[in-house]
A and B are shown apart, each in its own frame.
Chain A
């Protein structure tokens, strides 16, 4: 069963082509790493999947439907930049999410805040960069979605919290849901991935399972990435 499908997907901003003729199918029940150097089109791809951007050519579908109200209800998206207001307290945002999303689980969110020692009555603007990121990831993973789109979820958090967050990701998605994680911190997340998609200059250059890469190249995905994208 396919949760996300892209056919001849192309996106350009004026003359600049961000994604060029991308064809990919993401099955359910997998954790996929969308891996590529800066400016390769990772965020553009995720924004197309959420409906924040519309394709210049081709199409992208979530569970068979073009991104819209219906797909947004089952897609949980962690944006690369926050869209939440600084004056909001963590508990305000929880209420906000509860209103917005039917599949939001308040108890889950509150438990995770507690486990990471984040005070629910703290305002977002008083939190460190890493704590802000944690709050947002907690909110995103507290939804019982079919598809999670995580744009750089671990960039700003310390290694200990990284482990917690990765565990949060692997334990919180439903069996038939999929998680797409875009990142360049490959070594840290490689163990939790099923599949990888290498993307470079707007084109998909490789799709494989993590263990296939290790078997075939005798290298970790991180090692292969460093070799393929060597500057």
Chain B
């Protein structure tokens, strides 16, 4: 998986989000050991202190825990992961609604459109079969 650092927002926040996503999507499994700060920093092409800051934030969120001598691990608590997953879904949906409102759609219209697009996708799937 590639790291994407875009230009404007704090780098450590972008790292937090991307590690979050890796945990939620299963790239990192619960209980997995994370690489060392230096290795992760090199992989992402960022400064080790920045990576350190991102990992500290993930620890604060309980997504990652540190064992004093052996390094950092992904949480084994599925509940924590689910919570983060939900929060992320809300954030995405809010952003989506904001954009749709900018385009001038009301809530009902948006929901109808979603259904329509979904059906479209399904029928596409049928033609493939």
| Residues of A that sit less than 8 Å from B by CB | 29-31, 163, 166-167, 170-171, 187, 191-194, 210-211, 214-215, 218-220, 222-223
Mostly helix, strand, loop or mixed at chain B's interface? helix
B50 interface neighbour in A166, A187, A194, A218, Cβ under 8 Å: A194
Which of A167, A193, A214 has the largest count of B CB atoms less than 10 A from its CB?
A: A214
Known contacts A170-B42, A171-B38; decide if A215 and B47 are in contact (CB<8 Å).
Answer: no
For the complex formed, measure the closest distance between the CB of A227 and the CB atoms of chain B, giving whole angstroms.
13
Q: How many Cβ-Cβ contacts under 8 Å join chain A to chain B?
A: 54
Interface residue tally of chain B, by bracket?
A: 10 to 19
B45 touches A191 (CB 8 A): yes
A215 interface neighbour in B10, B50, B53, Cβ under 8 Å: B10
For the complex formed, measure the closest distance between the CB of A27 and the CB atoms of chain B, giving whole angstroms.
11
B123 at the binding interface (Cβ < 8 Å): no
A219 touches B8 (CB 8 A): yes
Docked complex Cα distance between A220 and B46 (Å): 14
Name which residue of chain B comes closest to A217, CB basis: B8
Known contacts A171-B38, A220-B8; decide if A30 and B49 are in contact (CB<8 Å).
Answer: yes
Cβ proximity bits B1-31 to A, threshold 8 Å, 1 near / 0 not: 0000101111111000000000000000000
A211 touches B45 (CB 8 A): no
Docked complex Cα distance between A30 and B47 (Å): 9
Residues of chain A contacted by B50 (CB below 8 angstroms): 191, 194, 210-211
